[in-house]
Amino acid sequence: MKIKLFFLVLVLVITSAFILNQKPKNEQPRPLPNILWITCEDISPYLGCYGDKNATTPNLDKLASEGTLYSNAYANAPVCSPARFTIISGMYASSAGTHHMRSTIKIPENIRFYPEYLREAGYYCTNNSKTDYNCTGYGDLWDESSRTAHYKNRKPGQPFFAIFNLTITHESQIHRYDTNKLIHNPSKMELPPYHPDLLVVRNDWARLYDNITTMDKQVGDLLEELEQSGLKDSTIIFFYGDHGGVLPRSKRFIFNTGTQVPFITSVPELYKDLSPVTTGEKNERLVSFVDLAPTLLSLAGLPKPDNMQGDAFMGEYIDDKPDYVYFFRGRMDERYDMMRGITDGQYRYIINFMPHRPYAQHISYLWKAASMQVWEKAYRDGLCNEIQSRFFGTKPFEELYNTEADPWEVYNLAGDQEYADVLKKMRQAMKDHILKFRDGGFVPEGEYANIESASLYNYFKSDDYKLEEIFNIASIAAKGEKKNIDFLIRNLKNPNPYIRYWAATGCAILGENAIKAKQELALCLTDESPDVRIAVAESLYQIGEKQEAINTLSKILQNDNLYVVLHALNVINELGNDVMSTLDTEIETVYNKYKANYYITRTIEYFKTLN
């Protein structure tokens, strides 16, 4: 009897569970969410909802109050095209060789971009309208990509993913304007301590906030259009800036001002389970652009592909919170530099692998800003204080900032014993990240020609790329310590050309203190790698072997590799007017040969202003 009763109860339990889990025949599965991305260009979190008293942004403030404001959101690159590659691919541009500005690297066939996955899942994907992905080799990504692209053109009932990119806040918009028509009062602008308090600087800041106000209105128009279309309740909204900026010492630099972005999401009630926080809350999770692609796929119910390196922060496949956000800086237009950084949201750690180059290398486009021009003039006229002058000097090997206490990052704590443990921890975290994600920035750009373009990513992942060894020599070289000269001399003979390059660069960083390496450097003037020879020439010139250096640079200017020639021109710029004058004929030949390349022409045109 008891056995029969047991089985009867068991049958009732199973039957009940089955019935409870059956959906009514007329109940339809929840549709995929629509996703609307509204992006703007070149702004840090200069919005009222972030506490900025200069800002007039009622529409974005309202969106933040109804959604989620991310207080620790960052671009991994401080300039547009490498940042956009990181967004579209879900990969650090530095892991694919696309970290230099305006790269033409061809991506391998096994890397696919997020619109391809969304379209396969049934989404109508539109882009209005910027692409600028810093690479070649990708296929047809969008259903529409133009200034008229719009989600309204989709099939009835089809879910959409739509981007609207607003350009009014772009850097170019502060280059020309009428100061008599400014809306924001220049006298009320709160200037960072590194900017001199000059009217022209204040005017540029006021113009930036005017543009942000215009952008806010454009956001309001897009949100109103969404609501009028009856789609607001089925659409997840993202708003963010494409990197920091835009005034001098922000865009292009991996400080907070160049990388931290405004980032707001709004999730309708139907999809609240896809958001980890409730309406109106601030989310302090670390979020960066490498996370956007996996997050989009997660919202669409799709798992992250193996090549994507970011962490989904919304949707079905939310990943664990990261401990750090990683930043990279490579060639910015015509100027070579190499910086890497990380933040945990409070502290920011930066390594300068080319500390012998000033922060303020002359970049033609940056110098179009009136504020950059007057800042440089004030510096040259001796009118800047120590903090304001620092931008025009060379860099320390390491930088550490407490961004909560020092939001403008002007007090470097790297040499402060009180922060020695923080420095040590972040230094190790930086190295771990570089090795884990196979940072390809330790290979000179001119050397990419020796690796098949579409294979760069796969090469960086392979054992052939001796990254840990290269990283270690690059770090020692960048310290610029005379005690390491014997180590650098030994590595000038290393069979690996990238290690030889960093050993030679270390000698260039040491300047006159590399005199002990003169003989070994001279032997490297016949190195098979032109990038090694360029670094050797710079070092030899500084220790008195000027003619040998000039002869070497003269020959390299005849090279057919654009990036090798650009590297040589960068070094010639640093060595000064005497070298420019001596190589005047060769430089003019280069100018005529590369008239179609504005990086070459801008560099040489700048030379002419110095003579």
The pLDDT assigned to 385 comes to 98
The pLDDT assigned to 428 comes to 98
From the number of C-beta atoms within 10 Å of its C-beta (0-12, 13-18, 19+), residue 469 rates as middle
Residue 43 lies in a domain: yes
Residue 542 makes CB contacts below 8 A (sequence gap 6+) with 508, 511, 512, 514
Tokens representing 243 are: 């990197």
Query: Final residue of a domain: which of 278, 301, 320?
Result: 320
The pLDDT assigned to 404 comes to 97
Q: Which domain holds residue 486?
A: 479-610
Residue 587 lies in a domain: yes
Domain count within the chain: 2
- Whether residue 319 contacts residue 312, with contact meaning beta carbons closer than 8 Å, is answered with yes
- Whether residue 556 contacts residue 547, with contact meaning beta carbons closer than 8 Å, is answered with no
SS3 205: helix
Active site residues: 80
Cis upstream peptide for 129 (omega within 30°): yes
CATH number of the structural domain spanning residue 600? 1.25.10.10
Per the listing, tokens 């302090």 go with 284
The pLDDT assigned to 22 comes to 45
Type of residue numbered 499: I
The pLDDT assigned to 27 comes to 55
Residue 112 lies in a domain: yes
CATH number of the structural domain spanning residue 107? 3.40.720.10
The pLDDT assigned to 109 comes to 87
Query: Final residue of a domain: which of 320, 344, 371?
Result: 320
Residue 252 lies in a domain: yes
The pLDDT assigned to 21 comes to 43
Question: In the chain, which stretches have pLDDT less than 70?
Answer: 1-28, 453
Per the listing, tokens 């970011």 go with 310
Residue 295 lies in a domain: yes
Element (H, E) at 161: strand 160-166
As a whole number, the mean pLDDT across the chain is: 94
Per the listing, tokens 């080799």 go with 137
The pLDDT assigned to 64 comes to 97
Residue 47 lies in a domain: yes
Query: Final residue of a domain: which of 295, 320, 345?
Result: 320
Residue 459 lies in a domain: no
pLDDT in tens, 142-186: 999 999 999 999 999 999 999 999 999 999 999 987 888 999 999
Residue 255 lies in a domain: yes
pTM (whole model) above 0.85: yes
